[in-house]
Amino acid sequence: MKPKVIVYKKVDPKILEFVQQTCEVVYFEELDSNTYPAFFQELVNADGILGSRLKVYADLLDKAPQLKIVSNMSVGYDNLDIAALTARGVMATNTPEVLNDTVADTIMGLILASARRIPELDQWVRAGQWKSELKEQWYGVDVHHKVLGIIGMGGVGTTVAKRAHCGFDMEILYHNRSRNMAAEEKYGATYCSMEELLKNSDFVCLLTPLTPETENLIGKREFGLMKKSAIFINASRGKTVDEEELIKALQTGEIAGAGLDVFVQEPINMDNPLLSMKNVVTLPHIGSATYETRFQMAMTAATNLVSGLKGDTPANLIK
Ligand SMILES: NC(=O)C1=CN([C@@H]2O[C@H](COP(=O)(O)OP(=O)(O)OC[C@H]3O[C@@H](n4cnc5c(N)ncnc54)[C@H](OP(=O)(O)O)[C@@H]3O)[C@@H](O)[C@H]2O)C=CC1
Ligand SMILES: O=CC(=O)O
């Protein structure tokens, strides 16, 4: 008998066909109040699940006694309680590497859009304000030859460093718990303390996973250490930053601007003060959202799922 899996995210039909070769598939394009009851019914005898962002904690695992593998279609896995999964012998996998280039492109987009005020000027042109020669008040700041500080120099961080160093002649500072020799050798990145990075960077880019150690990693003290001209970029997770302190730092001019792909509350509340700030560029958590990369992520997640259910060790097993 084929193992039963639940795919709870919209994926290309080719991904479903691939999984159906070895598994019986129950498919939900998305989970919402309409689909949750059926999802939980199916979960009772599911061997695997594939999707992203569903919180898989002990309470959900109690409802899934047969579960053998949780295949996350994202590189971040802060939605999974790895200790609870391990205690029950359930494998967990993610999708690293395949999204590095696309996410790095998004981050360069945020850096350029914030520094050169692209969304703000786009609105200005559309509003019919372009009536004479551009005045100094609309100038931006350069990106090239500036200092980029990357906190979390892993797969995505290194790919950002490549673009920034090779394409924009930027000087790269980085902070991790351990050294990344490849980034140092290939992109001239300099390892430094968090404090040194914050004091010396023109752009501070946060790219750590969300863990108990990184929750609110950047707060009042850290914004206080940044240059007043610094632009803060966050594409990790909303909760790695104390969002209240970010708002204050932007309101008081402690920092100059921000480019944000992630927020504490997603989708963002419309009364979030960040949405009314002209010096903030916002995106709806679209770091990896291109057709090509989402297909590759889905295929990686499907391959992990099938391989785990066949009794092999999945390529991206989270240890
Ligand atoms: N906005 C989006 O759409 C996307 C968001 N992401 C987010 O970005 C994160 C990073 O992705 P990726 O680069 O692939 O992951 P990696 O695991 O390759 O890199 C994470 C880096 O963070 C560092 N790190 C971890 N903990 C700490 C800490 N406490 N202090 C300082 N550095 C730390 C690690 O180094 P070390 O272990 O040496 O400390 C590592 O270099 C994901 O977990 C996800 O949350 C990723 C893709 C898309
Ligand atoms: O946020 C996206 C991810 O892949 O992690």
Name the 3-class secondary structure at 7.
strand
Architecture of domain 4-97+292-309: 3-Layer(aba) Sandwich (3.40)
103 lines ligand 1 (CB under 6 A): yes
Torsion of CA 227, 231, 237, 242, to 10 degrees: 40
Among 72, 29, 18, 28, CA closest to 48: 72
**Smallest CA separation from ligand 1 atom 9, residue:** 209
Residue 273 DSSP code? G
Residue 13 makes CB contacts below 8 A (sequence gap 6+) with none
Q: Residue 47: which pLDDT band, with cuts at 50, 70 and 90?
A: very high
* Interval 289-295 mean pLDDT: 98
Alpha carbons 21 and 2: distance in angstroms, whole number = 9
Alpha carbons 122 and 109: distance in angstroms, whole number = 15
Q: Residue 65: which pLDDT band, with cuts at 50, 70 and 90?
A: very high
What's the 241 CA to ligand 1 centre distance in angstroms?
14
Alpha carbons 51 and 44: distance in angstroms, whole number = 17
* Domain chopping of the chain, boundaries: 4-97+292-309, 100-282
96 lines ligand 2 (CB under 6 A): no
What's the 152 CA to ligand 1 centre distance in angstroms?
5
288 lines ligand 2 (CB under 6 A): yes
Query: What's the burial of 20, exposed, middle or buried (CB within 10 Å: 0-12/13-18/19+)?
Result: middle
Tally Cβ neighbours within 10 Å of residue 221: 11
Is 116 a known active-site residue? no
Where does residue 152 fall: left (phi above 0), alpha (psi -120 to 50 degrees), or beta otherwise?
A: left
DSSP for 133-184 reads: SPPGGG-----TTSEEEEES-SHHHHHHHHIIIIIH--EEEEE-SS--HHHH
Whether 284 and 257 have beta carbons less than 8 Å apart is answered as: no
The model's pTM is 0.98
Name the 3-class secondary structure at 244.
helix
State which ligand 1 atom lies nearest to the alpha carbon of 99.
47
Q: What is the pLDDT of residue 42?
A: 98
Whether 40 and 49 have beta carbons less than 8 Å apart is answered as: no
Run of H or E residues at 252 = helix 243-252
How much of the chain, in percent, has pLDDT values that exceed 90?
A: 100
Q: What is the pLDDT of residue 31?
A: 97
Run of H or E residues at 53 = none
What's the 68 CA to ligand 1 centre distance in angstroms?
26
Q: What is the pLDDT of residue 272?
A: 98
One of 117, 237, 243, 254 is an active-site residue; which one?
237
Q: Which ligand is nearest to the CA of 96?
A: 1
Per-residue tokens: 287: 């770091």
Q: Residue 202: which pLDDT band, with cuts at 50, 70 and 90?
A: very high
Q: Residue 110: which pLDDT band, with cuts at 50, 70 and 90?
A: very high
What's the 127 CA to ligand 1 centre distance in angstroms?
39
Q: What is the pLDDT of residue 198?
A: 99
* Interval 296-318 mean pLDDT: 98
Is 285 a known active-site residue? yes
213 lines ligand 1 (CB under 6 A): yes
CATH code for 100-282?
Answer: 3.40.50.720
Is 165 a known active-site residue? no
76 lines ligand 2 (CB under 6 A): yes
Domains 4-97+292-309 and 100-282 share a fold: yes
75 lines ligand 2 (CB under 6 A): yes
State which ligand 1 atom lies nearest to the alpha carbon of 177.
39
**Smallest CA separation from ligand 2 atom 2, residue:** 74
What's the 96 CA to ligand 1 centre distance in angstroms?
10
Alpha carbons 96 and 314: distance in angstroms, whole number = 13
Residue 283: half-sphere exposure toward Cβ, Cα within 13 Å: 24
- Is the C-alpha dihedral spanning 176, 213, 85, 97 positive or negative? negative
**Smallest CA separation from ligand 1 atom 2, residue:** 287
